[in-house]
Structure 1
Amino acid sequence: MSSRSSIVRTLSALVMGAALSLTLAACGGGAASGGGAETGGAEGDLVGKPAPEFTAEAVTGEGPKSVKEASGKVTIIDFWATYCGPCKKSFPKYQELVDQFGGDLSVIAVSVDEEDTDKAKLEEFVKATGVKFSIVWDKNKSAAKAYSPPKMPTAFIVDKTGTIRHMHAGYGEGEEEKIAEEIKALIGQ
């Protein structure tokens, strides 16, 4: 009996380890992942192409938001979820970028939380972060299907003409400095 319970404990530990690994991978893995710009391969297939259009309901109640509304500005389209630790760290940094670049930068943060998520949970997340940029809920996953973010968070940097120029899969401390350089270069174009 003790060898059977030893096997059960070992299997339980393996299953828990696998579940933890999958959770960390889906959520960007935290600072250890280092985030980073992706420009090629499956994760970067949209770089250099027009940003797919989508419309989603704003969490904060200002009505539907779309990519077209940001036309003429450099835009960060950020895919995130309330369960994602690195997402919570990236939001204040994106607000700092909005403050730094003013009217030249737009941020559309796209929640990929499940359809059965209580909207109040999303509203609490927004309130806790104190951000002022557009936050939408992709309930039907149409935006997520069009962009296929490889992990949470994933930020797509879109130029003033609507073309995706950079993609950052995951988020690590200090990543906003690279994003700021990219935004500055795109604003100058």
Structure 2
Amino acid sequence: MRIEATSLRDVIKITPRHFNDSRGYFCELYREEWFRKEIADVRFVQDNQSLSWREGTLRGLHFQRAPAAQGKLVRVVAGAIFDVAVDARPYSETFGQWTAVELSEEDDAQLWIPEGFAHGFLSLSPRTIVQYKVTAPYNPTAENGVIWNDPDLAIDWPLAGREVHISSKDADLPRLRDLFTPAFSRKETA
């Protein structure tokens, strides 16, 4: 496996080695011992999958609050995405910064996004299938998110010529700075 740093040191791109022959290829996508030693000492408890029928489908930016915060290991089974992680940890030196990686079925690369980061992606092709492992189960009471086009974040989504398809729930998410009010902070520690 090849490990590549991103502009946010805690977010890591992992690309497996392909073993090719006349039949196709074989690759190892995940091995717990290696991941825990080389990337993060975590255990995955749930696998998720999404299908985006149309190019330009935007999902996110989602995260869960502590104690149900999730780390995610994201990969694309079919199609391609522009995958984004935003540091939503209020006491982090990189709070409010984002990084993005293009993931596709071509190289089976994965993106490790630790707890405390908001995550979202834009499908770059029709019929895109995304799978991700998470370190905590889905908890609707801990669910949170940041609006995809937050002007403070200024994420450079590759939208040229693309119509954005987004859920009404994601279209109503707040800006990052509006999440970290005193009331929100009290919820975090309660």
The verdict on a shared fold, with TM-score over 0.5 as the criterion, is no
Structure with the higher helix share, 1 or 2:
1
* Larger Rg computed on CA atoms: 1
TM-score (norm 1): 0.28
Higher relative contact order (CA 8 A, sep 6+): 1
